[in-house]
Amino acid sequence: MLKLLRMDMHRLPKGLAFKIILILLLGEFTLTAFAFSFMMNRADDLTEVYQILGISSDVMTAPLFLRLTLGQLGDFAMYMAIFVVLFSNGDFHSGFIKSIAGQVKSRSMLGASKFISVMIYTVFYFCVSVLISIIELAVFFDGPKELGSGDFWQYALLLLFMYISMSVVIAAIAQFFRSNLIGIISGVAISIGLISAILNLVNMLVKKIGFDIDLAEYTITGSIKSLQIGGSIGDYTQHIVVCLVYMIVAAAAALISYNKRDIA
C-alpha cells in the first residue's frame, strides 16, 4: 500500500494539469480580489455593492474573503474537480494499471491509494488557495484582518473537510465508471452547484404537494454554500454528517468495483 501511495504521489505533481491549474488559480484570485476592491472603493452606491457581495460593511476580513471565494464554489471547485478526474483515471489509459494489479493483495488497494492521494492534493490545493488569499488581501485591501481569529480557522477547517469529501466523491465516480468524460461532466456538475440548483427546482415541485424540505441542504455543495462563519460545532453537525456519508458511500462503491470488475 505504501509503495502504491508513493508512486501515486510521485506522479501527481508531474502532470501538466497540476501546473496549469495552479496558474489559473492565481489569476482567478487576483482578478476576484481586484474586482472586489474596485467595487468597494469606487462604486457610487455602496449599499448595492454590499448586497451583491453579501456583506454588511466595507471591511474585507480574511474569513469574509474566504467565504466569498472558496465558500461559493465557482472556478476553484471546478479546477479541482477536473484535475481529480484526470489523475484518478490516468492509469486506466495505460498499461501501468494492468501490470501493477497483479502485484497487490487486493485490487481495492489501487483505489484506496488514489483516494489518499486525492485527499493530500486537496489539502495542498486548499492551503495554496488560502495563501494566495492572504497575499491578495495584503495587496488589494488593508491586510488579512482577523486571520488569527477562531472563526477564520474553524470556518477554513470545516470548508477543507467538505472539499475533501467532494474530491473523494468525484474521484469515486471517475473510478467507478472509468471514463474521463463521465467523470469530468459529473465533477463539473457537482463543483459548480448544478445538482443543488436542480434540487431547488425539485423543492418547488415538492412544496406544491405540501412538503416543505430543502433537498439541497443534503448535498456536499449545498453544505459548502450554506456554511456560515462564527457558528458553533452544533450548528455544523448536519454539514459534517452529510459530507461524511457521501464520502464513505462513494469510496466504498468504487473500492468494491475494483474487486468485482476486470482491470481495463
The rounded average pLDDT for each run of 10 residues, N- to C-terminus, in the chain (264 residues) is 79 85 90 82 61 65 86 87 88 64 70 91 94 90 82 92 95 89 90 80 77 79 87 84 95 87 61
Q: What pLDDT, on the 0 to 100 scale, is given for residue 103? A: 66
Return the C-alpha cell found at 78.
471546478
Place of cell 488581501: 137
Helix (H, G, I), strand (E, B) or coil at 145: strand
Return the C-alpha cell found at 191.
463543483
Q: What pLDDT, on the 0 to 100 scale, is given for residue 240? A: 93
Q: What pLDDT, on the 0 to 100 scale, is given for residue 80? A: 92
Residues facing 61 on adjacent strands: 145
Rounded to an integer, what distance in angstroms lies between the CA atom of residue 195 and that of residue 187? Answer: 10
Q: How far is CA 64 from CA 78, 122, 189, 245, in A?
A: 21, 21, 25, 28
Q: What pLDDT, on the 0 to 100 scale, is given for residue 94? A: 62
Task: Please give the angle made by the CA atoms of 73, 78 and 83, to the nearest 5 degrees.
Answer: 140
Rounded to an integer, what distance in angstroms lies between the CA atom of residue 61 and that of residue 143? Answer: 8
Rounded to an integer, what distance in angstroms lies between the CA atom of residue 206 and that of residue 253? Answer: 29
Q: What pLDDT, on the 0 to 100 scale, is given for residue 197? A: 77
pTM, two decimals, is 0.88
Sign of CA dihedral 71, 82, 139, 49: negative
Return the C-alpha cell found at 169.
466523491
Rounded to an integer, what distance in angstroms lies between the CA atom of residue 106 and that of residue 104? Answer: 5
Return the C-alpha cell found at 190.
457537482
Task: Please give the angle made by the CA atoms of 110, 108 and 157, to the nearest 5 degrees.
Answer: 75
